[in-house]
Structure 1
Amino acid sequence: MKEWKSLVEQAKMGDEESKMHIINMLEPKINKSLLQTKPQERADLKQELVVKTLSVIQSFDTRSVPGFWRFMYEIENNAPRPKAAGR
């Protein structure tokens, strides 16, 4: 987790190597997701996903990421409750 935080912070400061490292780490997931699209659209969509990822990195605030227990607390207290069967 610290590696991601450090990479994002460096990428936000304009470090091209950090940006490329993030993209390389996400590439297997991106490629797997692209298998759900038409082959002729994959190259353009991959480029759009990379651009969107870089955009999200610039707006991501690493200081606002909750710790594990805070995250669990928020999940438990904000999650919609499932309706009981038959109601």
Structure 2
Amino acid sequence: MTDMYTIVKRAKVDPEMLTELIKMFEPKVNQLMKRTNPNDMADLSQELKIMLIESAYQYDLDSIPGFWEFKDKYKS
């Protein structure tokens, strides 16, 4: 299995990787659907997947801080 960073990076240039990204989040989406009105499940599931795809395209992978930058940012 490929990690999420790699899938998002590849999905930006290869739309087929979006399928892998959706599969990765499918269990969480299905879990959330259990809390939803049955009449709204299909629409909400589709909307969540659209949001996931949009987030993948908009996420700036180059701005991910390294460990030390992250540590310094949240240092108390």
Runs of 4+ in 1 over 4 A off after TM superposition: none
TM-score (norm 1): 0.73
SS in 2 for 1:37: coil
TM-score (norm 2): 0.82
Higher relative contact order (CA 8 A, sep 6+): 2
Counterparts of 1:23 and 1:12, CA distance in 2? 14
Q: Which stretch has the larger CA shift, 58-67 or 42-51?
A: 58-67
**In the TM superposition, what are the counterparts of 1:50-65 in structure 2 within 5 Å?**
50-65=49-64
* 1:24-65 Cα shifts (integer Å, max 9, x gaps): 010000111111111110110000011111011110011111
Aligned residue number for residue 45 of structure 2: 46
Gaps of 5+ in 1: 78-87
**In the TM superposition, what are the counterparts of 1:1-87 in structure 2 within 5 Å?**
3-13=3-13, 15-77=14-76
Structure number, greater radius of gyration: 1
User: How many equivalent residue pairs?
Assistant: 75
